[in-house]
Structure 1
Amino acid sequence: MIKQQKFGLAIAIVTILLTLGVASFVGGRQLGHSEAVSSFMATFPNAVRRDIQAKLRDFVNAEDFGASQTANDNTAAINNAVAAVSSNVAGGGCIRFNAGTYRIAGTIVLPSGFGLCGNLRSKTDNGAIDILLLGTGSSGQILIRIGTGSDNPNFNYVQDIAIGFARPQSAGASIVTRNGHTISLQRIFIGINSHIGIMLEGGSEQYNYQLEDIEIGAGWRGVWIGPSVLAKPLLV
């Protein structure tokens, strides 16, 4: 959260400086114009100055690729963010979101090593939360698919995000993965209208799932696990 706040602060500072053409002060010393707009320093003891572009690359935000809380469908923008990180960052990464609601008409696909990271700071009985991925597709929509369905995804995570659907679903699921391992799902709120909350489809390598602090509203099933070589279907 601190990094996200500083990320926003950095953008605000740069915008103001470029617009007004003024210098800034750090530690009682006035910075030159070029130094002020090209560097960043956190307001903590022992912080060091960093290049502003390096600072802005600390996080990949879905809105960097066109996601918008006013858009009817953010599927392509979020998948483009995943693809960009996949092509340029070894070992995967996390796509972050600003607080608000993002409408999704298709499926977000996460290859191995990738995650979606929000900030579920507050939740009330009526589902008021900070970040909501809202499915707006036809019935049977899969909102998040970990892996392509034919591979063996691993080291994926979804955390601190709420999921919902604009209308009741008679098929599909909020989160689906198949034959995966080392998958972490933490602090997720799945609201009403979901058919299956989390579907962990079977396979020969299905193991090491971490589900922590998951809340699922009304639906046909909360969690579907299996079948696999070692386990029969388990419905929760």
Structure 2
Amino acid sequence: MSGYPVFRGSACLLAGTFAAFLSAAVPSANGQSTTELFDYPGTGLKGTVSAQPAVTLQECRLLCSSRSGCFGFDWSGAMCRLFASVDSAYDSPASTAGTRNLVPGYRPPSNPPARPVAVAPQAEPALPDAPEASGRRVSYRTIPGDPRPIAWVYINVCAGASVDATSLRRSVNDFVFEPLRLIPGQIERFDRDTTPQCASVPKAIGYAAPDADGWRIAAALKEMSPLLRPLGIGTRADGKLPAGDPDRYRIDIWLSHR
């Protein structure tokens, strides 16, 4: 009889220790675990076991899902095994397992991940016809031995636009572009209520003649991006000039009110 109080005290100590462990690891009734575990009924796991508490299946699952270092568990009878790493899985009719990640080379879980919904890429809207700009050319000097084709840059200002068009024109004129020689034409202003391009975001649109090298206009716009991006101006290089247009390469910069 003298050993009974000692056994009773040891049991209370063990129960208290496990209760503290369980309360620290399992979310409270007001909390909710946000970690989804993949369920593998009839399965045992192989890997690094970090703990083996004697708990119910639900408590075992909660212990694992609430601990960031637990990558899986399996439970059989009253024995729960928590895994710090999961190497593989095997069929075990008397066991139930759960893992944070899918087990490679093993059958799918009973709650497989949902397939992502495919989102069809949105094509950019068709470009409106480029406005007539032949009267906006300016005189310029030829550069002897310069192999670059000429590309005209027309800055179009929609009513209400806040960008300083004159400063932008000067920046384009002073920059030396490699694929094309860009020459800014005269700045022109447009009514935002009657001009389709003014209803869109600010954008630089590159145009090339049907028989011209389209890569040149795309490369020039790429070089121009550091001048345009700080002003909120995007670029696209898929514009096509109609046959017979006096320009072979052309960039229209639309400064809209947006």
Q: Which TM class, normalised by the smaller chain length? A: under 0.3
Structure with more strand by fraction: 1
**Which one has more relative contact order, counting CA pairs under 8 Å at least 6 apart?**
2
Q: TM-score, normalised by structure 2?
A: 0.22
Indicate the structure (1 or 2) with the bigger Cα radius of gyration.
2
Between Structure 1 and Structure 2, the one with more helix by share is 2
Q: TM-score, normalised by structure 1?
A: 0.23
